A and B are shown apart, each in its own frame.
Chain A
Amino acid sequence: MKKAMKGNISLITGSVMVAITFSLLILSFIWTPHDPLEVTPDDSFAGISSKHFLGADKLGRDILSQIIVGSRVTLLVAALAVTIAMTLGVSAGITIAVASRKLQAPMVYAVNIALAFPAALLAIILAAVYGASTLTAVSAIGLATAAAVAQVTRRTAYGILASDYVLAAHACGASTWRIIRKHVMPNLRASLLIQASAVVSVSVLAESSLSYLGLGTPPPAPSWGRMLAGSQQYIFVNPLLAIWPGIAIVIVVLGFNLVGDGVREVFDPTLRRSDS
Chain B
Amino acid sequence: MSLLEVHNLTIAFGDKKVVDSISFTLEKGSRIGLIGESGSGKSMTSLAIMGLLPDTATVSGSITFEGQELIGLSDREHSHLRGNRMGMVFQEPLTALNPLMRIGKQIAGPLMIHKGASLKDALGSALELCTKVGLPDPDRVLRAYPHQLSGGQRQRIGLAIALACEPALLIADEPTTALDVTVQREVLNLINTLVDQEGSSLVFVTHDLPVVSIMTENIAVMQLGQIVENATVASLFHAPKHEYSQRLINAARVAEDAFSGTGGIK
**Residues of the A chain whose Cβ atoms lie less than 8 Å from the Cβ of B84:** 173
Taking a contact as CB atoms closer than 8 A, the residue among B96, B98, B99, B110 that contacts A173 in the complex is B110
Of the listed stretches A4-12, A178-186, A208-216, chain B binds A178-186
- The distance in angstroms between the C-alpha atoms of A163 and B98, with both chains bound, is 9
B98, A172: Cβ atoms closer than 8 Å:
no
Contacts of B80 in A (CB 8 A): 173
Question: When chains A and B are docked, how far (Å) is the Cα of A100 from the Cα of B158?
Answer: 29
Q: How many residues of chain A get a CB closer than 8 Å to chain B's CBs?
A: 26
Option from B82, B92, B110 in Cβ contact (under 8 Å) with A164: B92
Q: Does A168 contact B (CB under 8 A)?
A: yes
User: How many Å from the CB of B253 to the closest CB on chain A?
Assistant: 33
A2 contacts the other chain (CB 8 A)? no
Given A167-B52, A168-B161, A269-B145: A182 in contact with B98 (beta carbons within 8 A): yes
Which of B78-128 touch A at CB < 8 Å? 79-84, 87-88, 90, 92, 95-101, 109-110, 113-114
Q: Which residues of chain A from 132 to 187 have a CB within 8 Å of any chain B CB? A: 163-165, 167-175, 178, 182-183, 186-187
Q: How far is the CB of B210 from chain A (nearest CB, A)?
A: 26
Chain A, residue nearest B92 (CB): A164
Q: Which residues of B contact A175 (CB under 8 A)?
A: 76, 79, 113
Query: Within the complex, what minimum Cβ distance (angstroms) separates A183 from chain B?
Result: 6
Q: Total A-B residue pairs with C-beta atoms closer than 8 Å? A: 85
Q: How many residues of B contact A (CB 8 A)?
A: 34
State A172–B100 Cα separation when bound (angstroms). Answer: 18
Chain A minimum-CB-distance residue to B95: A164
- Tell whether, in the assembled complex, residue B96 and residue A275 are in contact, meaning their CB atoms are under 8 Å apart: no
**A275 and B114 alpha carbons, distance in the complex (Å):** 31
Residues A270 and B147 in contact in the complex (CB < 8 Å), given A168-B90, A173-B113: yes
Does the CB pair B96–A165 fall under 8 Å? yes
Shortest Cβ distance from A160 into B: residue: B98
0/1 interface trace, chain B 143-159, chain A, CB 8 Å (1 if under): 11101100000000010
B228 contacts A by Cβ under 8 Å? no
Query: A183: which B residues are within 8 A, CB to CB?
Result: 98, 101
Q: Does A276 contact B (CB under 8 A)?
A: yes
Q: Would you call B147 and A171 a contact (CB within 8 A)?
A: no
CB distance from A180 to the nearest CB of B (A): 13
Chain A residues with Cβ under 8 A from B90's Cβ? 164, 167-168, 171
Main secondary structure of the interface of A (DSSP, over half): helix
Is B50 close to A, CB under 8 A?
Answer: yes
Residue contact A186 to B98, C-beta cutoff 8 Å:
yes
From A182, A187, A275, contact of B99 by CB (8 A): A187
* Pair A171/B88 contact, Cβ less than 8 Å: yes
> A164 CA to B97 CA in the complex, in Å?
8
**Contact string, B61-85, partner A, CB cutoff 8 A, digits 1/0?**
0000000000000001001111110
Write out the residue numbers on chain A whose beta carbons fall within 8 Å of the beta carbon of B83.
Answer: 171-174
Residues of B within 8 A of A171 (CB): 50, 52, 82-83, 87-88, 90, 162
Alpha-carbon distance A210/B135, docked complex (angstroms): 61
Question: Is B137 an interface residue when CB atoms closer than 8 A count as contact?
Answer: no
For the complex formed, measure the closest distance between the CB of B70 and the CB atoms of chain A, giving whole angstroms. Answer: 14
Instruction: Name the A residues within 8 Å of B148 (CB-CB).
Output: 275
Closest residue of chain A to B46 (Cβ to Cβ) is: A171
**Pair A275/B97 contact, Cβ less than 8 Å:** no
Q: For residue B92, which residues in chain A have a CB less than 8 angstroms away from its CB? A: 164
B97/A168 in contact, CB under 8 A: yes
B55 at interface, CB cutoff 8 A: yes
- Interchain CB contact (< 8 A) of B96 among A168, A182, A276: A168
CA distance A96 to B99 in the complex (A): 24
A270 to B82, CA, bound (A): 30
Knowing A182-B98, A183-B98, say if A172 contacts B161 (CB, 8 Å).
yes
Does B79 contact A169, Cβ atoms closer than 8 Å?
no
Q: How far is the CA of A170 from the CA of B76 in the complex (A)?
A: 11
Q: For A165, A172, A268, A275, which residue has the most chain B Cβ atoms within 10 angstroms?
A: A172
A contacts, CB < 8 Å to B: 100-101, 163-165, 167-175, 178, 182-183, 186-187, 189, 267-270, 275-276
11 contacts between A and B (CB under 8 A): A164-B90, A165-B95, A165-B99, A168-B97, A171-B82, A171-B90, A172-B82, A172-B83, A187-B98, A187-B100, A270-B99
| Nearest 9 CB-CB pairings of A with B | A172-B83, A164-B95, A173-B83, A173-B82, A168-B96, A172-B110, A171-B88, A269-B145, A165-B98
Extra inter-chain contacts (15) besides given A168-B96, A187-B99, CB under 8 Å = A101-B56, A163-B95, A164-B95, A169-B109, A170-B82, A171-B87, A172-B113, A172-B161, A173-B110, A173-B114, A182-B109, A186-B100, A186-B101, A269-B147, A275-B148
